[in-house]
Chain A
Amino acid sequence: MTTSVNHAAEIERQLLAFVEKHTKKTWTPDDDFFAAGAVSSMFAMQLVVFIESTFDVEVSGDDLVIDNFRTVGSMTSLVSRLRGE
């Protein structure tokens, strides 16, 4: 259990670092960067590529929806689920 929490925290940390590097802004895990107009939908694709290459998962089918990529929190949940954690 503890391990899984730490995993989620580590996933969240890496996702936040990626998003902040690319938007040059600071975000909380619940901020919706698409609603904030900080990025275009093309950025969602960069997130997909980053997630797949960093966490060794494949995002496909019904998971390929923009709602999964709106916040660092939603992406962390997605990655945790795809890794079966």
Chain B
Amino acid sequence: MNHRIGVLGAGVMGAAIATLAIGHGVPVVLVDVDEDTLAKARKEVRQQLKLARLMGKLPRTGEAELVTTTDYADLADVTSVIEAVTEKPELKAKVLAEVSGVVRPGTVIVSNTSAIPVDEMADSVARPEDLCAIHFMNPPYLIRAVEVIRGPRTGDETMSRVTDLLAALDRDGVVVGDGPGFVINRILQRSINEAARIVEEGRATPEAVDAAFEGCLGHRTGPLATADLIGLDNVVDSLRVLHDRTGDRGYEPCDLLVAKVAAGDFGRKTGRGFYEHGGAL
């Protein structure tokens, strides 16, 4: 089938998902409430296309069209929607309800949530059977594997369409069950929180924590460098989602994480988090 994807939210993930799609020849309608964010995203997508091609991760030529808009009505003819707005449950609920009213029945609605259960978001859409989640890693145009979450109300037809969509995007889906944080973030967010707590206690520096995971355990990137890549704002939002839904104190964002976010130090995207960024990457 000829895919045409609507992407909601032109932040870090929304823009990068748009890059992945148009780089594979799948046209994208990118929606955001803010024109400046859209203008910035258009520039980022151009650069990311170059980066991915330079690294041999996307076909060298032949990208599809990218349309940017602030009007949900422009989503009327898309074949699927990927929601990538900020990890705030009430915002996701609002956006999903809105888009569900615009697209044709049978249009797959995918949330790129970090941690909110699919079945919780399903309450916000007109047709819960059309909804599932795909947890893309950052950056999605470089990392092939994605976590695919099937909610209890997700339909077979939706799962089959998602498989088709991921094939068009040349991604490998790992299908898992529903619940706060799914598989990756149920474990990863807790690890990041604990690693940050260790730094807060003064038991180890960020460099030492990451060096131990990288050198001793063979992780490609340690938990705190991973946190900087994800964005500490998103880490704290995801931890709150997990904490609110599980009551597990291990997910309560530690003071150091909260302080960094309050100071505007979100990691790579602002130039500073647990590490300084901006020089040679």
Contacts and interface: CB of A to CB of B under 8 A. Distances in A.
Interface stretch (B30-38, B47-55, B176-184, B201-209): B47-55
Contacts of A45: 47, 50-51, 54
B270 interface: no
Given A61-B60, A61-B61, A64-B60, A38 B50 contact: no
Nearest to B53: A64
Contacts of B216: none
B280 A22 contact: yes
B279 interface: yes
Given A60-B50, A64-B54, A42 B281 contact: yes
Contacts of B61: 61
A23 B245 CA distance: 45
Given A45-B47, A61-B61, A64-B60, A39 B280 contact: yes
Interface string A29-44: 0000000001111111
Contacts of A42: 51, 281
A2 to B, nearest CB: 34
Kindly state the interface size class of chain B when it binds its partner: 10 to 19
Nearest to A25: B280
A6 to B, nearest CB: 29
Given A61-B61, A62-B60, A66-B55, A48 B280 contact: no
A61 B34 CA distance: 31
Nearest to A65: B54
Given A61-B60, A64-B60, A38 B280 contact: yes
A49 interface: yes
29 contacts: A22-B279, A22-B280, A24-B279, A38-B280, A39-B280, A39-B281, A40-B280, A40-B281, A42-B51, A43-B280, A43-B281, A44-B54, A45-B47, A45-B50, A45-B51, A46-B280, A46-B281, A48-B50, A48-B51, A49-B47, A60-B50, A61-B60, A62-B60, A64-B50, A64-B54, A65-B54, A66-B54, A66-B55, A69-B54
Interface of A: 22-24, 38-46, 48-49, 59-62, 64-66, 69
Shortest beta-carbon contacts, A-B, top 4: A42-B281, A45-B51, A64-B53, A22-B280
